[in-house]
Amino acid sequence: MNQAVSSKPFQRLLLTGAGGGLGVMLRERIKPWAQTVRVSDLKEIAPAGPGEEVVQCDLADREAVMALTEGVDAVLHFGGVSVEDSFENIMNANILGLHHLYEAVHKRGIRRVIYASSSHVVGYYPTTQVVDATVPLRPDGIYGVSKCFGEALSRYYYDRFGIETVCLRIGSSFDAPRNARMMTTFLAYDDLVELVRCALFTPRVGHTITYGVSDNPVKWWDNREADYLGFVPRRSSREFAERFPQTGVWPPAEDIAATYQGGPFLLAGPMYKD
Ligand code: 15L
């Protein structure tokens, strides 16, 4: 942070995964926070606008990740594989790539990472149970397992080197819920931006785990453990209630996509190449 040079709180923020659904949205909304936002993705993304730097980067390439982090004050890590995929793809981006990122963050002396984890680290809890940040992990696929790795890796880098991370267990962040399950897991874009802001600007966060969810009528996730972030969701899936009305009909017990919080992710993996 350098307030003498700029009225913006950060000199340079790094946003990875800037070509993904959340990355494209965040890219616009985080501009007021930094003099320069370095945006990065594996694929080609829109060219740099004012106050931006664009860097194409494969997280699996250690040297490239080292270069990507030069001159960065804090990282918003939304890069990597964001759904169930082959183990190879998940391993390269979410395991190897994340290790490269934390090594680079450590070597560069960067003090904070906001990590896009996922609710799929607890996707095997039943939809009848409310869980908080302290429950044992129950991932619902290899993607969820890779997010558990990210939470553990960031914990280690905090305990060993004091690098602060806020792990955001994001529910379903879209412009609107896309199915009945998302009436519970919905995280409106406005609320995601506010959660990222709280995670970035709260003075001391240590290693924090928090659920990214709007103020939806049905709740599976209890965020009390992360109260000190001051995150208060202002939006709710109630705004879309007419799209997915409550039927009052319980799904059959053998329908695991309805029985467990992870929903369709339970049916997606594991997936192997060939
Ligand atoms: C996730 O972790 C995915 O990244 C996202 O695409 C959604 O599908 C979300 O979970 C979900 O559970 O709806």
The CA angle 73-74-77, to the nearest 5 degrees, is: 145
What pLDDT band is residue 3 in, cutting at 50, 70 and 90? Answer: very low
Kindly tell me if the per-residue pLDDT of 4 is higher than 60: no
Note if 143 is an active site residue. yes
- Where are the alpha helices (H) located in the chain, listed in sequence order? 21-29, 62-68, 87-90, 97-108, 142-161, 182-185, 189-201, 256-259, 265-268
Catalytic residue among 115, 143, 211, 260: 143
Query: Which residue from 22, 26, 77, 82 has its CB within 8 A of the most atoms of ligand 1, so it is best to mutate?
Result: 82
Q: What is the CATH number of the domain that holds 150?
A: 3.40.50.720
100-131 per-position pLDDT tens digit = 999 999 999 999 999 999 999 999 999 999 99
Burial of residue 109, with CB atoms counted within 10 A of its CB: 0-12 exposed, 13-18 middle, 19 or more buried: exposed
Instruction: Report the number of distinct structural domains present in the chain.
Output: 1
147-172 pLDDT, tens digit each: 999 999 999 999 999 999 999 999 99
Domain that holds residue 205: 3-273
Please give the Cα distance from 14 to 18 (Å, whole number): 9
